[in-house]
Chain A
Amino acid sequence: GIQVEQSPPDLILQEGANSTLRCNFSDSVNNLQWFHQNPWGQLINLFYIPSGTKQNGRLSATTVATERYSLLYISSSQTTDSGVYFCATDPRGAQKLVFGQGTRLTINP
């Protein structure tokens, strides 16, 4: 099955810093989503981005489907950005999301 790898596994930053999270996937995909899981377990949709670039406030994402990777950029980090960031892909024909292992982001004040 498809392999989804995220890096780095852990990231600790000071408030105000910028960061780049990476997601590599091993096969062609229909769908790629980025989520933020808050401390209570809620998965919050950040981006649905099978290809191209999107921006939402301080966050932006780019997926290069032909090279099988996606990047999530967080600028001017705030403590509320802390949590686990997952990318998840839907391999073509698979009907399901396969998640990476996540990046645990800690933003210190």
Chain B
Amino acid sequence: DTEVTQTPKHLVMGMTNKKSLKCEQHMGHRAMYWYKQKAKKPPELMFVYSYEKLSINESVPSRFSPECPNSSLLNLHLHALQPEDSALYLCASSHRDGYEQYFGPGTRLTVT
């Protein structure tokens, strides 16, 4: 089973809202990732968790706050977002960093 799940599939939020994106995998992978993808562009890395510790933050604004409560779960907490943050947010996991990554279906976020 190479499945990564993400919820919700779609999210519309106002600039004053607080919401969270959820990602889950049950493959025993120890590295998990958040990527952001704008329309007609490739995915860009936001965060990497390795063994439940944040190992890379690609200078992401603090209105995005990642959390890895356990080895199977990755959250992305959103607060005070801007309309330009509207994008497809993709979660991925791999056995360890540097190994093959598997992506979830994404959450399509619209900020109004």
Majority DSSP secondary structure for residues of B touching A? strand
Interface-lining segment among B12-20, B21-29, B78-86, B93-101: B93-101
Q: With an 8 A cutoff between CB atoms, is B56 at the interface? A: yes
Question: What B residues does A30 contact at CB under 8 A?
Answer: 98
Q: How far is the CA of A31 from the CA of B56 in the complex (A)?
A: 18
Given contacts A90-B98, A96-B48, contact A42 B105 (CB under 8 A): yes
Residues A37-74 near B (CB distance < 8 A): 40-43, 45, 48
Which residues in A have their C-beta under 8 angstroms from that of B100?
A: 31, 33, 45, 48
Inter-subunit contact B45/A45 (CB<8 Å): no
Q: Which residue of B lies closest to A45 (CB)?
A: B102
Would you call A25 an interface residue if the criterion is a C-beta within 8 Å of the partner chain's C-beta atoms?
Answer: no
Contact of B98 with A31 in the complex, beta carbons under 8 Å:
yes
Residue from the set A30, A35, A99 with the largest chain B CB neighbour count within 10 Å: A99
Contact A99 B98 (CB under 8 A): no
Instruction: Check if B55 sits within 8 Å of A40, measured CB to CB.
Output: no
Contact call B106/A42, Cβ cutoff below 8 A: yes
Q: What residues of B have a CB within 8 angstroms of the CB of A31 in the complex?
A: 98-100
B98 near A95 with CB under 8 A, answer yes
Residue ranges of A at the interface with B (Cβ–Cβ < 8 Å): 30-31, 33, 35, 40-43, 45, 48, 86, 88, 90, 95-102
